[in-house]
Structure 1
Amino acid sequence: MGSSPRILVLGYRHLGDSLFLTPMLRAMKRFAPNGHTTVLAHGIGAAVLEGNPHVDEVFKVSCRGMAAKFSHLTPLRRTRYDIGILAQHSLANAVFLWSVGCKQRVGIDSKGCGLFLTHRVPTMGLVHEVTRYLKLAEALGANGDSSGLEFFTTEADHQSIAHFLFERGYDLQQRDGRPLIALFPGSSQQWRFKRWPADRFAQTGSRLVMQHNACLLLLGGPDDRDAIDEISQTLTVPFCVVDSSHSIGRLAALLAACDLLITNDSGPMHLATAVGTPVVDLAGPSDPRRTGPYGAGHVVIQRVEPGSPKQWINAPDPQLPMKAIGVEDVVAAAVEQIAKTRLV
């Protein structure tokens, strides 16, 4: 490998997965500062990395699936990549990386992927996904990275959010001891059973406003409309609904302005950690040891044995892990988190 390696990373289309890559991308840029890193990504996964200074190019794939990736094989082969990083771990992706012609190919040695890799990383036990990706960089000679996730906001996004909040009666320059708390009650349609009951979000928000003078934001996109509507109809305190689907940059700036995010296991949870906002994670059926909020300063609430959410899909009551989380637990965790900022 020369001093200016061309690096290809097979990335993701989801928000959280793409943010999990950022410590590894940072480690690789330190390892090869003159290298050129391209990340193959789709949808919001591409948007997450477009402003990242450790990524030189985001190669956007117009749709998901291996057929879409292989349709770009010819221009990718022309680049003659020195290094290929198999972040999206599957045999099909390993074959694709080999087909691109990357001279060195690193990935986890499982599912038959090792046949197509030059640097095989042994399978790991129960570790966070961020750790898993960092091990790929270390296998190439990069040093580990103990820093957190990253998302790079713009001044324009911060100014836009400050204006948005000011118009709704909240001045970021003069908070007057009022904590700004965001609730994210949504999830993808596939994982609807990972949602905490909407009435409990409403109870939690009401108590934080009435007892701690909080300013309450309710975040959600089109897929979360039913949860947003139910909470809105139940709340008896002032609140503001924010469409979180328009711009990832504005959402990041909004979360950076907040003192706390209370959320289901979700992409916005990881975005909050990336911009330094404390999180109360309602983990439910997820395994926070693998996909929970990365780094210190966050609270995870879980009342069932952690495991894979998939094991609950066909359960008699898939929402049981979420229903086991009580309002009292969440309010106490929120107050504890806000107290650290001396706003309560």
Structure 2
Amino acid sequence: MHVLIVKPSSFGDVVHTFPALALLLRSVPAPLRLTWVVNDSLAALPVLLPGVSRVITFPRRHLFRDQAGRNFLRELRSEKYDVAIDFQGLLRSGLMTWLSRAPRRIGFRQTREGAHFFYTEKYTPEASCQHAVDKNIALVRLAFPDAVAAAGGDAVGHPPLTVAPEADAAARAWLEQLPGDGPVLAVGFSSRWDSKTWPKEFFAAVISAVAAQVPGLRCWLVGSSSERELGEELAAEVSACQVLNLAGATDFAELAALFGRSHAMLTNDSGPMHLAAAMGVSCIALFGATEPDKTGPWGPPGQHAVVRSTCPEHPCFQRRCPKGEGVCPQGTDPVAVAAQVAQKLKSAQHLP
């Protein structure tokens, strides 16, 4: 069976699909091929999941330049699919599902922008199914009930991800820049939304307070190249422990390798947070504009700690705070957050 996976974006949403596809891979009898349609900027993410045999890149930002759209359609239709599953539920993803010519086109019944009109099968997860990961898993269960039942698919967790040897070597080299044998804290200090980003002064205060409780603490900062300067400013504010700014220095595979050598992560709601959770890292996650019950770090009960904004508008789901800049972090005690970080670090299994 050849299955087309349509989940073009975003960073965290792509990672949210991994557990559902791991369930599909172990439930549907071999041979099973997975082809994944994803935005070109995220092309290296799906290959972290074992079992993805082909990636088709969607040129979202230049779809109408130099015949990019025509070339994408040609590649999409270069092979035949038995099933297409739209985990995105938007107009463009529904259209891709239809353009694939797959005889079975599967998606959620409740979608935005009319995507469900392109499906041959529509499913509705139970109302108790709130988190994005759980909804994706439910879609696979509903679309392939017999196969999942036969495979004993009751328990679903994060599948092991593939970290290339060269990516692990890069992470090992960065770790050597933080000498010692103390635990390693990854810090995701930024986010694409202003309303999801706690200030660098808050992160500096938390890291310093953690260092006072955890001897030998080592810290690396992760983020995009556009966040590197902010990372340098944050690193300069922390003198209590070693801090290495790796914002903009890693690709997705190297970022996964970093998390494979981290003991915990202090983070805003961001794509790296979801990858860290997928790698089994305990996250202490700060949530302002968004709802952690829907898109928080996913894992076994008790693995992660969520710190919610005390703002009465939480969660507002606005990119910019409707009450003004910097309102979401107000009332969040860095010492209390540091205590949660220290607890996760102390209880984490020692990593090489």
Q: Normalization by structure 2: what TM-score?
A: 0.85
Conserved 8 A contact 2:56-2:75 = no
Q: Is residue 259 of structure 2 the alignment partner of residue 258 of structure 1?
A: no
Give the deviation of 1:225 after TM superposition.
Answer: 3.1
Aligned to 2:334: 327
Aligned to 2:281: 277
Aligned to 2:198: 196
Aligned to 1:79: 79
Residues 166-315 of structure 1: matches in 2 within 5 Å?
166-170=176-180, 175=181, 178-188=182-192, 191-213=193-215, 214-237=217-240, 238-296=242-300, 297-304=303-310, 308-311=315-318, 313=320, 315=322
Q: Is residue 96 of structure 2 the alignment partner of residue 96 of structure 1?
A: yes
Conserved 8 A contact 1:181-1:217 = yes
Give the stretch that moved more between structures: 35-44 or 311-320. Answer: 311-320
Give the deviation of 1:312 after TM superposition.
Answer: 6.1
Matched residue SS, 1:321? coil
Give the deviation of 1:61 after TM superposition.
Answer: 2.3
Amino acid at match of 1:79: E
Aligned to 1:105: 105
Aligned to 2:344: 337
2:35 to 38, 45, 48: 38
Unmatched 5+ stretches in structure 1: none
Q: Is residue 161 of structure 2 the alignment partner of residue 151 of structure 1?
A: yes
* Partner Cα separation in structure 1 for residue 322 and residue 313 of structure 2: 15
Change (3 A) 1:316 1:272: same
* Partner Cα separation in structure 2 for residue 207 and residue 69 of structure 1: 51
Change (3 A) 1:160 1:239: same
Identity %: 23
Deviations 1:290-318 (A, max 9, x none): 11000121111113468655346351325
Amino acid at match of 2:185: I
Aligned to 1:120: 122
Give the deviation of 1:103 after TM superposition.
Answer: 0.3
* Partner Cα separation in structure 2 for residue 25 and residue 342 of structure 1: 27
Report the aligned-residue RMSD.
2.5
Matched residue SS, 2:176? helix
Change (3 A) 1:314 1:292: closer
* Partner Cα separation in structure 1 for residue 220 and residue 189 of structure 2: 11
1:6 to 2, 7, 10: 2
* Partner Cα separation in structure 1 for residue 124 and residue 314 of structure 2: 22
Aligned to 1:25: 21
Change (3 A) 1:21 1:150: farther
Change (3 A) 1:155 1:325: same
Aligned length, in residue pairs: 331
Change (3 A) 1:217 1:91: closer
Unmatched 5+ stretches in structure 2: none
Conserved 8 A contact 1:24-1:134 = yes
Give the deviation of 1:231 after TM superposition.
Answer: 1.5
* Partner Cα separation in structure 2 for residue 164 and residue 65 of structure 1: 35
Give the deviation of 1:65 after TM superposition.
Answer: 7.5
Conserved 8 A contact 1:282-1:325 = no
* Partner Cα separation in structure 2 for residue 113 and residue 328 of structure 1: 46
Conserved 8 A contact 2:195-2:321 = no
Conserved 8 A contact 1:13-1:43 = no
2:58 to 25, 48, 61: 61
Q: Is residue 138 of structure 2 the alignment partner of residue 130 of structure 1?
A: no
Give the deviation of 1:146 after TM superposition.
Answer: 1.6
Amino acid at match of 1:336: Q
Conserved 8 A contact 1:7-1:35 = yes
Amino acid at match of 1:30: R
Conserved 8 A contact 1:149-1:273 = no
Amino acid at match of 1:337: K
* Partner Cα separation in structure 2 for residue 100 and residue 139 of structure 1: 21
